[in-house]
Each structure stands twice: as structure tokens, then as C-alpha cells.
Amino acid sequence: GENVEQHPSTLSVQEGDSAVIKCTYSDSASNYFPWYKQELGKRPQLIIDIRSNVGEKKDQRIAVTLNKTAKHFSLHITETQPEDSAVYFCAAITLSGGYNKLIFGAGTRLAVHP
């Protein structure tokens, strides 16, 4: 079945540094890739997404890149701040053929130290 692997499981950076989280997916038909941020005790919050017809998307300090050939996608956070500390989940979805479920990675716990 579909599978999404996410690395690293934990990431610790100093404030102002960049953070990169990487995911790989197994279903070559996947064509939509959202990223969610989840703070402790709160709901997953959609922070950025990318579709398969685009290689890169940027929104202020966060960016996502997609390599369809390698079935890799990554989240890049620049100029990290303590409030970026959270668990980040990548996910993949197939938007056609009746499949509409998100398959999540296991998450990356990001800690940004002042």
C-alpha cells in the first residue's frame, strides 16, 4: 500500500538557522503533498502544500520542493524562530481514482533553541 517515510524524527537547531525535513513516498500516482505543523495538544495545521505540476513553492520563511522522479519532497524553514518548535508532518494524497486519503509520515519534532 501507500507509504510515506519522513526524516529526521527529531531535529534541533539554533534560532536563525535553517531546518530541512525530507519525505519520500511510494505511490507514483500521488500528486498533492501538504505539510502540517502540530503544536502540543493542538490540531494539525496546514502550513504549505505543493502539487505535482510544480517543483518548488515558497511562502515567506517556508518552502517546499518536489522531485517527482525520485519521489522525494522536502520542507525548508529559514531563519528559524522558537515559535517554529513543533512536530511537522508531511503527507501525500492521490486526487483521482477514488483515493482521497492523506498518508502521513511519522513526523519530525523540531526544536528551535534561542
Partner 1 sequence: DTGVSQDPRHKITKRGQNVTFRCDPISEHNRLYWYRQTLGQGPEFLTYFQNEAQLEKSRLLSDRFSAERPKGSFSTLEIQRTEQGDSAMYLCASSNPNEQYFGPGTRLTVT
23 part of the interface to partner 1, by CB under 8 A? no
Q: Which stretch binds partner 1 (CB under 8 A): 14-22, 64-72, 74-82, 100-108?
A: 100-108
Cβ nearer to partner 1, comparing 105 with 112: 105
Q: Which stretch binds partner 1 (CB under 8 A): 52-60, 68-76, 78-86, 87-95?
A: 87-95
Cβ nearer to partner 1, comparing 6 with 80: 6
> Can you list the positions of beta strands (E) in the chain?
4-7, 10-14, 19-25, 32-38, 45-51, 56-59, 62-67, 72-77, 86-93, 102-104, 108-113
**Minimum CB–partner distance for residue 19 and partner 1 (Å):** 18
Q: Which stretch binds partner 1 (CB under 8 A): 38-46, 54-62, 65-73, 77-85?
A: 38-46
The CA–CA distances, whole Å, from 58 to 10, 17, 43 equal: 23, 17, 23
**Among residues 14, 34, 50, 66, which is the contact residue for partner 1, using CB under 8 A?**
34
- Residue 49 — φ and ψ, nearest 5°? -145, 165
The Cα–Cα gap between 100 and 90 comes to 16
CB 37 within 8 A of CB 47: yes
**Among residues 15, 16, 95, 113, which is the contact residue for partner 1, using CB under 8 A?**
95
Q: How many residues bind partner 1 (CB under 8 A)?
A: 24
